Amino acid sequence: MDAFYAAVEVQDHPWLKGRPVIVGMGRRGVVSAASYEARSFGIHSAMPIFQAKKLCPVGVFLPVRMNRYRQVSAMVMDTLLSFTPLVEQVSVDEAYLDLKGSESLWGPPAEAASAIKRAVRESTGLTCSVGLAPVRFLAKIASDRQKPDGLTLVEDLEEFLATVRLKEVPGVGEKTLERLRPLGVERLTQARALGQARLERLLGSFGARLWELAHGIDDQGVHLGREAKSVSHELTFARDLDGSLPADRDLLDSHLLLMCQRVASRLRRQGLAGRIVTLKLKHADFRQVTLRQTLGAATDFTVDIHEAARELLNSYAGGGRFRLMGVGVSGLSPAGTGQAPLFGRERGLRRASLAKAEDAVRGRFGEKALVRAGALTALRQGRGDENGED
């Protein structure tokens, strides 16, 4: 999808059309999305909001409405499924489709791609950019070539490979670029000259992968039912919180409880439970610490996640001021599977019933309709800039 969050906001608020729209707010937040008008000012995703405001003082800054974006995303994915059942959604605004065998229905690939673009626009009012290629990673690269509202068809594999810059390749980060740039490798096909063995010495297992990609080889197809590896939520505080001050410590724990509640709710919504609780802390000087605890059994209950996360927070001896905190649960499995407890079964059923009732109330009346007392402090003082991920 093209500038998805910003495009949804413009569609919902027509007066924004033609204006530089930036999704993301808060003195210490970051840009989640920017319209193409905003990008002309040099604004991009993950840019600090204060920097975006300097570059574009006339921009319209809006809060993230993830529930709305997911609602529109579901419409997009339903539209894609009308073309083929082989659809892999990889994010709220991106998916891979396998069109093999669909020629009798939709015609040649270019015609199918045009039909997909029309269908998405008719169902959502939004534009998307499509890339078609014989292999997955080139389809991804092609989809970014003519944004917005683009269509790029890779017909000659070798000809297209010669145009691919190394930084366009999925999985290639700054460290890889730093290692290969001094060797004169800035385009993908230039990596061929190094040979597979040397690439592996330089980059480890990714070296072998890069050698294959440089030759247009990619055995990754469309994977159905992609499983979430973790469910997490993080918050950039409105001001730095000092863990050595009692009032700030209480506020940290209050925010922590709210995040654990959000993570537990999303786990239950997806029918998942997890055994590994992760606490992420970012200091005021941007130093980042990650702490983990493995539970005795998988859980989707707020109290279990909060208890583990709180222990991790209390055990951290680093001290200092924090600008961000996050909680995640991994080691996921379908809820209700695994070894059942020998004792306490009745208590477990009561907890499950209570959690179900909580989810029902919040689903109908909003998240703030039912909140644990320990989270009220965070609600009263504001929650800063949040981000939740699966």
Q: What's the pLDDT tens digit per position in 247-292?
A: 888 888 889 988 898 898 888 888 888 999 999 998 888 888 899 9
Whether 80 maps to a domain, the answer reads no
Task: Indicate if 369 and 249 belong to the same structural domain.
Answer: yes
Same-domain status, 241 and 214 = no
Q: Do 249 and 161 have their domain in common?
A: no
The strand order across the sheet containing 385-389 reads: 288-299, 272-283, 321-334, 230-242, 385-389
Provide CB contacts within 8 A for 97, sequence distance 6+: 80, 83, 84, 86, 87, 88, 116, 222
Q: Is there a single domain that holds both residue 187 and residue 204? A: yes
Same structural domain for residues 53 and 156? no
- Tell me what percent of the residues of the chain surpass a pLDDT of 70: 87
pLDDT at 96 over 90: yes
- Is 252 contained in some domain? yes
Of the listed ranges 109-118, 158-167, 239-248, the one predicted with least confidence: 239-248
The pLDDT mean for the chain works out to 86
Domain shared by 236 and 360, yes or no: yes
Predicted TM-score (pTM) of this structure: 0.67
Residue in 308, 224, 306, 302 with CA at minimum distance from that of residue 266? 302
One-character DSSP codes across 118-167: HHHHHHHS----EEE-SSHHHHHHHHTTT-SS-EEE--SHHHHHTT-BGG
**Is 309 domain-assigned?**
yes
As annotated, the active-site residues are 94
CATH number at residue 32: 3.40.1170.60
- Looking at the fold, whether 239 and 375 belong to one and the same domain comes out as yes
> Which CATH number characterizes residue 268's domain?
3.30.1490.100
Cα(69)–Cα(24) distance, rounded to whole angstroms? 14
Q: What is the pLDDT of residue 334?
A: 83
Which of these three, 18, 42, 64, is where a domain ends? 64
C-alpha closest to that of 275 among 257, 289, 259, 293: 293
221 & 234 share domain? no
Per-residue model confidence (pLDDT) at position 165: 95
As for how many domains the chain has, the answer is 3
Q: How confident is the model at residue 213, as a pLDDT? A: 94
CATH of the domain at 220: 1.10.150.20
Contact yes or no for 136/218 (Cβ under 8 A) = yes
Domain holding 40, by residue range, is 4-64
Judgement on whether residues 246 and 369 belong to the same structural domain of the protein? yes
* Single residue among 194, 226, 258 that ends a domain in this structure: 226
| Residue 135 banded pLDDT, cuts 50, 70, 90 | very high
Q: Is residue 114 part of a domain?
A: no
Q: Which of 44, 64, 84 is the last residue of a domain?
A: 64
Residue 239 and residue 216 share a domain: no
Q: Are residues 220 and 247 in the same domain?
A: no
**Pair 220, 312 in one domain:** no
pLDDT reported for residue 370: 63
Tell whether 336 is covered by a domain. Answer: yes
